[in-house]
A and B are shown apart, each in its own frame.
Chain A
């Protein structure tokens, strides 16, 4: 019940395309769903986050879509750029504790 599943494991997108990464969870007590971006040799950087009382949140080129009934959420990166090439992690937590991370998606954006 504590697991967060993430797909795909890796993703290759052309510059200007849309990158979509999906996550699913089981624990309905989760109340906070962030996405992190990690470059090699660096710690994860908070990208965008959503709470279950909204279905979508957009910040610049990044959008989270949230489906509470399906217990799924996804990250959309519009107009993907080579600089977006990194590993992306979804995560979930309840009341700011015990964050559970997905296994990660390695995104490569081709120039």
Chain B
């Protein structure tokens, strides 16, 4: 186990609704990254938060937004859900601030189904 936890485990939402996913990072880690993994594909980078600031973003629309809190836990918010948003959402934590130290540890993910 990596020490990264995510909630909820599974979630079913209707198209057009909004969803919030949560992540608690591994103890001592100050950076959280979020990924979307569609069935049978590799994870796609959504964005990264470092010390409560967005520190990089992938090719995802603005309706995907996030937050990082002072305790380094994080939220992923998705507005106006679309059917294609159905996927496994993964959170990964790491300790940044030291050049060359980029090991990311993933949580178990949240399975989101949009109907």
Contacts and interface: CB of A to CB of B under 8 A. Distances in A.
A contacts with B: majority SS: strand
B45 A100 contact: yes
A98 B56 contact: yes
Given A44-B90, A45-B2, A99 B104 contact: yes
Most chain A Cβ neighbours within 10 Å, of B2, B43, B108: B43
A35 B46 CA distance: 19
Contact of B96 (A34, A91, A96, A98): A96
A47 to B, nearest CB: 11
B58 interface: yes
Interface string B87-110: 000101010100111111111110
Interface residues of B, number: 30
Contacts of A97: 48, 55-56
A34 B101 CA distance: 12
A49 B103 contact: yes
A67 B104 CA distance: 23
B105 A46 contact: yes
Interface residues of A, number: 26
A32 interface: yes
B107 A43 contact: yes
Contacts of A89: 42-43
B74 interface: no
Interface of B: 2, 4, 31, 33, 35, 40-45, 48, 55-56, 58, 90, 92, 94, 96, 99-109
Interface of A: 6, 31-32, 34, 36, 41-46, 49, 51, 89, 91, 93, 95-104
The 4 closest A-B pairs by CB, nearest first: A101-B42, A96-B102, A43-B106, A97-B56
25 contacts: A32-B100, A32-B102, A34-B103, A42-B108, A43-B4, A43-B90, A43-B106, A43-B109, A44-B90, A45-B2, A46-B105, A46-B106, A51-B100, A93-B102, A95-B99, A95-B102, A96-B31, A98-B45, A99-B33, A99-B35, A99-B45, A101-B35, A101-B43, A102-B42, A103-B41
